[in-house]
Structure 1
């Protein structure tokens, strides 16, 4: 992902966009870019402890930030219990970071199908074949099973999608001749408000 300055430079003087999604759209690649951003998804564990893992950011628009996974995964159980999450996207070289916090809702069938179509063959195969049963086998058996398994065409059974609807977005930029700086947007009934914070 490029770190080039676009609609607003966090270190420049002036007023940032009133809508944080304008800035997010400027920072993030288009949904049809095959090089999808990796993001850390943080949830509340069913045991009450924080939990986190890396996911692909499948898509982004005004309805939120989409990610997709197996319906039997731990994160799905956690989101069913507490449908809130945080998502952290980190740019190469630690030049930028975007933190999104909000509510999580099931993604649409259309978005689910589009995300599946955009997945590489390897990731589609993982969705079909990578089970706890496979993980418990000795390495030789796992290698043999992986080589022999030929998933059915089409979307994997139990593949699920979610969309994080932001209540807060925090944009962070590394310092270039100055300290790092954050721009935090918070949404309430009146819309978005913003403030600058120390990096």
Structure 2
């Protein structure tokens, strides 16, 4: 077992990129709001390095409100084709404006326009209302770059816990963990 959870994640992520038919970067992001209720949703990992795992979205969304109330977040990657999953826990901070601008600029234009048109997680009276809002922003930014809205940014999760799960026949799975300490990472195994 590697002593470095980021190295192990990189190896498993590369394998998933080669085997998963769709979105090997898809992950469940679990949060807990001020009301104590958990919520989970699938998002796409947009970048990662030894400082953490980054993802983006609307600052008015339920996930953003939850992370503002409680910055302890869990990520879960599940790669069915490999019978593997990785759980990552830690705390999130909002990325810098420069990082959010750079990522937003890399998105497809329709995704940029959709970010402006969507009041994410708020009630929508009808699909037509959203489509009308999208037409309005298309007109507003016609022939020019689409700037990042103030209400759209990203978060980086700094991990303090990893669990790697390898599925094995008859539910004899292999589970190994990394827990962050003041001096590095402590490793261990869990029963299946």
Unmatched tracts of structure 1, length 5 or more = 1-15, 30-34
Is the counterpart of residue 174 in structure 1 residue 167 in structure 2?
yes
Q: CA deviation at 1:44?
A: 1.1
Q: For the Cα contact (< 8 Å) 1:85–1:104, is it kept in 2?
A: yes
Which runs of structure 2 are paired with 1:2-151 in the superposition (5 Å)? 16-29=1-14, 37-93=25-81, 95-131=83-119, 136-150=124-138
The 8 Å contact of residues 67 and 92 in structure 2, kept in 1 or not, is answered as yes
Instruction: State the shift of 1:177 in Å.
Output: 7.8
Q: Distance in 1 between matches of 2:75 and 2:33?
A: 15
Cα distance change of structure 1 residues 196 and 72 upon mapping to structure 2, 3 Å threshold: same
Report the secondary structure of 1:131's partner residue. coil
Q: Is the 8 A contact 2:28 2:75 kept in 1?
A: yes
Which consecutive residues of structure 2, in runs of 5 or more, have no partner in the other structure? Answer: 15-22
CA distance in 2: counterparts of 1:145 and 1:154, whole angstroms = 16
| Length-normalised TM-score, structure 1 | 0.78
Q: 1:175 to 1:118 in 2, by over 3 A?
A: farther
Q: Which residue of 2 aligns with 1:11?
A: none
Structure with the higher fraction of residues in helix conformation: 2
- 2:147 matches 1:154: yes
Secondary structure of the equivalent of 1:103?
strand
Report the equivalent of 1:163.
156
**TM-score, normalising length: structure 2:** 0.81
| Mapped contact 1:69–1:160 kept (Cα < 8 A) | yes
Counterparts of 1:55 and 1:154, CA distance in 2: 22
1:193 lines up with 2:181 in the alignment: no
Number of the residue aligned with 1:6: none
Kindly indicate whether the alpha-carbon contact (under 8 Å) linking 2:54 and 2:155 is maintained by their aligned counterparts in 1: yes
Q: Please say if residues 61 and 121 of structure 2, whose CA atoms lie closer than 8 Å, have aligned partners that are also in contact.
A: no
User: In the aligned structure 1, how far is the partner of 2:132 from the partner of 2:97?
Assistant: 34
**Deviation digits for residues 121-171 of structure 1 (CA, Å, limit 9, x no counterpart):** 343232111126985233344444434541631223311111111110011
Q: Is the 8 A contact 2:13 2:24 kept in 1?
A: no
